[in-house]
Structure formats: C-alpha cells, structure tokens
Chains A and B, each alone.
Chain A
Amino acid sequence: MAADAENNWEELVLRLRAGEEDAFTELVRSFQGRVYGLCYRMLNHPAEAEDVAQEVFVAIFRYIDHFRGEGNFSTWVLRIAANRCRNHIKYLKRRRHDAKDTWEEITEHRLDDDHVQRVPRPDQVSEGLELERLVREGLQTLDEDHREILILRDMEHLSYQEIAEVLSLAEGTVKSRLSRARFALRTFLSQRYALVGGGDG
C-alpha cells in the first residue's frame, strides 16, 4: 500500500465521496497490490483475480458512504476484497470451475511479463517457480477460512487485530485458526518440498 494513501486515507475518502475520478485512480494505485494479491491467492486465477479486484474498487467507489471512518480504511478495503473473494469462490463452485486447469497458463504468463516483481537469478527461476506452484497448490488444499487467514497474516502481513477486523472474528479465533492453517500448509509442503521438512515430512 502506498504510504501516502495509508496515512492520508481520510482525505482520499473525502475525495471518493465527492465522486472524483482522480480519487478512484489513486485508490486503485494505492491498493491494487494488496487487493489483487489477496484475490489472486484466494482464487488462484489471474483473470478471475483481476475481475474481482476491479469489482472491489468499483464497489468501494460506489459504496464509500458505507465507510463510517471508525476503523482503518485499508482494513475496510481488505474486508470488502475478502468478502468478494468468498462470494466469487462460491460462484465458481456453482459453475464447477476447475482452477487447477490454469496452472500452466499462470506459469507461462508469469515468465513472460512482470507478473513476478521479484525475479530470482536465472538458475533460481526453475526452483522458484516450482516453489511458487507448490505454495499455491498448498493454499488451494486449505479450506477458504484457513486460506484467507493465512494469506492475510503471512503474505499480507496484517496483525491479528487487523485480521479480526477484516474477517469479523475474535482474536482468539484468529489465533487458533491461523495455527491450524499454518500446520496444514506446513504438512503439505513437507511432503513435497524437502527444504521445509518437519516432524512428519
């Protein structure tokens, strides 16, 4: 998230409420990384992720009056994104969407453009892509509640309190659910990636 938007979200909210299109652009520019990242991790499909992420920004622009300013604006944005992702997953399930079909597409896509911001050395590309693939596959083995909490904590680096706000959960629930999600992913990776290892890996 851009630091200026995070620090000056009150002004941004005022401009959004005024319907300024420039404010919408700034909103997208400031939050696209986190929103798209959450959507991408949750949906495991770049096109679906972009579609949902754009819907998130349009929804924020349309319903900005619903933000009462009591909490953190970025938390509110991520809450909308998380809700949209959950709804979209339900929608895709209804359509019997098979996200696993997109693995090859994603891999080639990421090699061709700047989808991966941090590119390892050429000799690390193969291992990095394999690890990326394993993590995404592991995330998809988690149920949605565990997946989103793990993404928010270990990939988006939200605090427990922020996660509780985003997901409307008690912090104790966040704590226990996160530990189970981590253990599940650790177990998955241990069985496929020697570097992780572990008690039963």
Chain B
Amino acid sequence: MADIHDRDLEQLSAYVDGLLDEGERERFAARLQREPALQAEYEALRRTLGVLQALAAPAPEAGFEERARKRLRRRQDRERRARRVRSTVAWESTLMVLLLLLGLAVVAYLALPIMLETEDVPDPPLPPPPHEEPVPEEPRDDEGAWGPRDGGRADNPWVGSTTSTLPVLAMRRVGWRYEVRTELAHQDLGALLHARFGARRVHDEGDHWRVDVPADQLAEALARVSELGAWSRAMQEEGEGGGLAFRSLVLYPRTP
C-alpha cells in the first residue's frame, strides 16, 4: 500500500461507486491497468463491499412494533403524570407562598408595636405624687404679701434637710413652694402658726394653711408643726380635740 495515497483511495472509492465523470473514470481505469498495487486494492475493495452487501440486514425481534407502542404509551402516561404533578406542585407552591406571606404579615403585625417600643422606649411615667395639690393661686391683695415666689428655686436648701427628722406624713416640692402634709387638729393652731410663722389660712382651700417661712427657719417651723401635731393628737385622745383640723401645711420659702 506504500504506493497508494489518500487521494488514490478517494478516487478508488468514488470509482467503485460510479461517481467519477466519464473522463475521470477512463483515466482511473487506465491507471488500474498500469498499476498492479492499485488494481489489487481495487479488487480487495470490491470483495469487501461484496461481503458487506451479502450480509443479512439485521431485523428486530418479532413484536418490535407492539413493544414500541407500549413504550410510547408509557412515555405519554409518564408525561401526563409529570404534567399533573407539575401542576399540583405549582398550585401547592403558590399556596405555600401565599400562606408564608400571610404568616409573615401576621407576625409583622404582631411584632411591629413591640419592635417600635423596643426601639424607642419612653421613660416610664413618674408615679403621681401621693398628694397632688393644685398650685396655690396668686395671693389676693387682701391677704397681704406672701414673699417672692422665685424663692422656690431648684437649689432651695429646704429639700432633704427636714424630712428625716420631722414627723411629717409627706413633703414635696410643688413648683416654687414646699408642701408638708401632716395631721393637725386644734382650734388655735391657726393662731399659733400665725403668731409664730405668720401663717395665713387660705379660705378657699379648706383646711390648708400657708406659712411663709424664712429659709433658715424651716427646720424650726417643721419641728413646731410636729409638736403641734403631737399635742393635737393628745388632746383628741383626751376628748378635748379642737374643731379645727389641718390636713396639710404649705410652707412657702421666703428669701431672707
């Protein structure tokens, strides 16, 4: 085969198949006459093709058609089932998504106020003062001067200096004044307070009295109130209690 090239093989193949035109065919036939190797290859190729064409055509086993039909039906059934499954899955997926969204919405609805409270927690409201009292109205002209109201500044020394030693029920700062709540009962108490501290009764506040006390005399004033309270209780126990009871005493600081 050393003398036969691919080009020769192609021409030989085409020659065997009758694909060469008349001129090519004649030239190739002449070569076959001249070249023994090419002629041998030609003969071998012809015999090879003869062998191939002599072989029986393979045929499928009997029942091939029926088996093919069954396969087609199985495939179609499978596809129909797959379509149904896909459809079902699609609906279920949609339903699941909707339920999920609904659940998220509910959770968000419930959690949002908590989240907002968490993010911006206001200070807890201060407990109301045990005895919130209205700020005393402006002193009337017929009651005289009550001292300067700006005496109740935040740095007023009355705060905290008296509550630990005086038997008062409650004491608080209301605006520019200090209010001491105690229970006093004596018909002359108002006069005593007035004589000692210059206290004046506020008629439209019931048993409330206002005492204008210099800042440096607050402790003494409260001690006096305590004494009066003890004396008043003792008088009541002996059945000699007065008809005048004080529910609260308001001490107004007066700037020295």
A: residues with CB less than 8 A from B are 21, 24-25, 28-29, 32-33, 36-37, 40-41, 46, 49-50, 53-55, 57-58, 61-62, 113-119, 131-132, 135, 150, 153-155, 160, 175-176, 178-180, 182-183, 185-186, 189-190, 193, 195-201
Contacts and interface: CB of A to CB of B under 8 A. Distances in A.
A37 B58 contact: yes
Given A21-B69, A49-B60, 19 more contacts: A28-B65, A36-B64, A37-B57, A41-B58, A50-B60, A50-B67, A53-B60, A54-B67, A115-B58, A116-B56, A135-B55, A175-B14, A175-B19, A179-B9, A183-B45, A185-B48, A186-B48, A195-B47, A196-B51
Contacts of B6: 176, 179-180
B13 interface: yes
B58 A131 contact: no
Given A36-B60, A196-B44, A196-B48, A25 B71 contact: no
B1 interface: yes
A41 B58 CA distance: 8
Contacts of B59: 32-33, 36-37, 114-117
Contacts, number: 145
Nearest to A175: B10
B53 interface: yes
Interface residues of B, number: 39
Interface stretch (B35-43, B87-95, B96-104, B162-170): B35-43
B149 interface: no
Contacts of A113: 61-62
B191 interface: no
B60 A24 contact: no
Q: Which has the most chain A C-beta neighbours within 10 Å: B19, B43, B64?
A: B64
Chain A to chain B: the 10 pairs with minimum beta-carbon distance, closest first: A198-B44, A179-B13, A40-B58, A186-B48, A116-B56, A179-B9, A179-B10, A118-B56, A36-B60, A199-B40
Contact of B44 (A58, A62, A179, A199): A199
Interface string B1-31: 1001010011011100101000000000000
B68 A57 contact: yes
B60 A201 contact: no
Nearest to A118: B56
B81 to A, nearest CB: 16
A131 B61 contact: no
Contacts of A118: 56-57
Interface string B167-204: 00000000000000000000000000000000000000
A48 to B, nearest CB: 12
A54 B57 CA distance: 18
Contacts of B61: 46, 50, 113, 115
Contacts of A176: 6, 10
Interface string B66-81: 0111011001000000
B68 to A, nearest CB: 5
Nearest to B64: A32
A21 B72 contact: yes
B40 A198 contact: yes
A41 B60 CA distance: 12
Contacts of B57: 33, 37, 117-118, 155
Given A58-B75, A196-B44, A198-B41, A175 B13 contact: yes
Contacts of A41: 58
B52 interface: yes
Contacts of B112: none
Nearest to A106: B58
Contacts of A61: 72
Given A118-B56, A155-B55, A199 B1 contact: yes
A193 B48 CA distance: 10
Interface string B140-163: 000000000000000000000000
